[in-house]
């Protein structure tokens, strides 16, 4: 690629998940082409939704045209019929002829030939970006630096620490985050309690809790893009805010419980109320702590996110929370085997199943 513009460039892949090697390929195509189309071709058996993968690329490479479709045809480069199936889908996603195909892998040459385009191979052998989707799926944390902020945010799980007043939830959130080597998100509601009109003594309005929820989720979303490992610790969340609405407004708000159900963490950690009560000038008092703790237990038991109550000193609480979290994180970061990594007979059976589901 000298200085000649290469017209309409095409990059395609599974992006399962999207990583720095993909970005290098797309940037190379963008530098050399008048315009670039990126096709995200996934399979029904894979566990990252296509629209999520497409959104990652649109955010990271806003100058490209990104299209996505399910491609359940067997990945068999020696099969003419398989090539025909793939090419029919690829052609259907193009809005104009392709001049240049950009790829790292050797299939790009045959793809370019079938499209009547030239082939530009980028980073043959992955010498510049020695990373692959297979490696990342096998060890997400070990390849965290290869992932864009949007990918990190999607892959990161939240663990929420909550509890009644003066049960050590903030202390545990900070300590658990330090133990896990990650960030923690403080409770926005405490800040709002100080800055709200009328301060701590004014009656609470129901709509204030919507503000608290929005600000809390915004703090989480920012932190999700900055975490150094795929877990984020949160000191409270929407569900806890819904319970504090009950306490201060006097009745439950269905909208807040619905919002909590739509914003589920991986794990809830309830801090025990066996420790001495400490008045910090913002708390209602020890007389309501037991009843609130009982309410937390009842609500957590009625929903389907895993939870546990931790007691004892801070190290004991951290150990209990971390032990409960470890298997959940391992399962969360387990990916379905991609189509091309399965035997051909299994690929054909899966394609048949996918067709049956689509018809019926």
Residue 285 predicted with pLDDT over 70? no
Question: Any idea what DSSP says for residue 67?
Answer: E
Residue 251 predicted with pLDDT over 80? yes
Do 54 and 39 contact (CB within 8 A), yes or no? no
| Interatomic CA distance for residues 227 and 232, integer angstroms | 7
Do 107 and 77 contact (CB within 8 A), yes or no? yes
Q: Is the pTM of this model over 0.85?
A: yes
How many percent of the chain have pLDDT more than 90?
Answer: 81
Mean pLDDT of 248-252: 92
Task: For 193-211, write each residue's pLDDT tens digit.
Answer: 777 887 777 888 999 999 9
Task: For 291-350, write each residue's pLDDT tens digit.
Answer: 889 999 999 999 999 999 999 999 999 999 999 999 999 999 999 999 999 999 999 998
Task: For 10-25, write each residue's pLDDT tens digit.
Answer: 999 999 999 999 999 9
b/e map 335-349, b = 16+ CB within 10 Å: beebbeebeeeebbe
Q: How confident is the model at residue 280 (pLDDT cuts 50, 70, 90)?
A: low
CB atoms within 10 A of CB 75: 18
| Interatomic CA distance for residues 46 and 211, integer angstroms | 37
Q: What is the sign of the dihedral through the CA atoms of 168, 173, 174 and 175? A: positive
Instruction: Please report the pLDDT score of residue 203 as a whole number.
Output: 86
Tokens of 209: 């809790």
| Interatomic CA distance for residues 90 and 345, integer angstroms | 23
- Of the two residues 144 and 281, the one the predictor is more confident about is 144
240: left (phi over 0), alpha (psi -120 to 50) or beta: alpha
Give phi and psi for 267, each to the nearest 5.
Answer: -155, 140
- Of the two residues 237 and 281, the one the predictor is more confident about is 237
Instruction: Please report the pLDDT score of residue 358 as a whole number.
Output: 77
Tokens of 346: 């299994």
Q: How confident is the model at residue 277 (pLDDT cuts 50, 70, 90)?
A: low
Listed range (73-82, 98-107, 241-250, 280-289) with the worst mean pLDDT: 280-289
Three-state secondary-structure class, residue 65: strand
Residues 6+ apart with CB under 8 A from 207: none
Measured between alpha carbons, how far apart are the two ends of the chain, in Å?
48
CB atoms within 10 A of CB 194: 9
Q: Quick one: CA torsion of 281, 286, 287, 290, rounded to 10 degrees?
A: 130
| Interatomic CA distance for residues 344 and 10, integer angstroms | 27
Residue 6 predicted with pLDDT over 90? no
Tokens of 134: 């297979």
Burial class (CB in 10 A: 0-12, 13-18, 19+), 148: buried
Mean pLDDT of 100-116: 96
Q: How confident is the model at residue 177 (pLDDT cuts 50, 70, 90)?
A: very high
């Amino acid at each position: 690629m000298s200085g000649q513009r290469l017209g309409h460039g095409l990059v395609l892949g599974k992006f399962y998940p999207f990583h720095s090697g993909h970005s290098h390929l797309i940037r190379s195509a963008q530098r050399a082409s008048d315009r670039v189309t990126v096709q995200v071709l996934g399979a029904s058996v894979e566990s990252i939704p296509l629209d999520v993968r497409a959104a990652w690329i649109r955010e990271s490479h806003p100058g490209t045209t990104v299209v996505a479709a399910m491609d359940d045809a067997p990945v068999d480069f020696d099969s003419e019929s398989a090539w025909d199936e793939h090419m029919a889908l690829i052609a259907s996603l193009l809005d104009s002829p392709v001049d240049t195909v950009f790829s790292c892998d050797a299939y790009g040459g045959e793809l370019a030939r079938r499209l009547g385009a030239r082939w530009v191979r980028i980073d043959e052998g992955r010498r510049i970006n020695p990373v692959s989707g297979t490696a990342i799926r096998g060890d997400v944390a070990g390849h965290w630096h290869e992932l864009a902020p949007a990918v990190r945010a999607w892959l990161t799980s939240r663990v929420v620490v909550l509890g009644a007043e003066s049960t050590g939830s903030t202390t545990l959130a900070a300590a658990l985050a330090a133990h896990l080597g990650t960030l923690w998100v403080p409770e926005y509601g405490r800040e709002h309690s100080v800055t709200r009109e009328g301060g701590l003594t004014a009656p609470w309005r129901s709509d204030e809790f919507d503000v608290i929820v929005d600000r809390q989720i915004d703090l989480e979303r920012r932190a999700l893009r900055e975490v150094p490992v795929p877990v984020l610790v949160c000191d409270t969340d929407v569900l806890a805010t819904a319970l504090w609405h009950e306490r201060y407004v006097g009745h439950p708000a269905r909208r807040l419980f619905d919002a909590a159900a739509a914003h589920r963490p991986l794990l809830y950690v309830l801090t025990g109320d066996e420790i001495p009560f400490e008045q910090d000038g913002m708390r209602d008092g020890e007389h309501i702590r037991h009843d609130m703790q009982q309410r937390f237990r009842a609500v957590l038991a009625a929903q389907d996110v895993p939870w546990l109550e931790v007691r004892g000193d801070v190290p004991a609480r951290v150990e209990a929370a971390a032990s409960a979290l470890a298997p959940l994180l391992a399962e969360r970061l387990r990916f379905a085997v991609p189509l091309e990594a399965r035997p051909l007979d299994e690929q054909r059976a899966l394609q048949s199943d996918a067709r049956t589901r689509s018809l019926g």
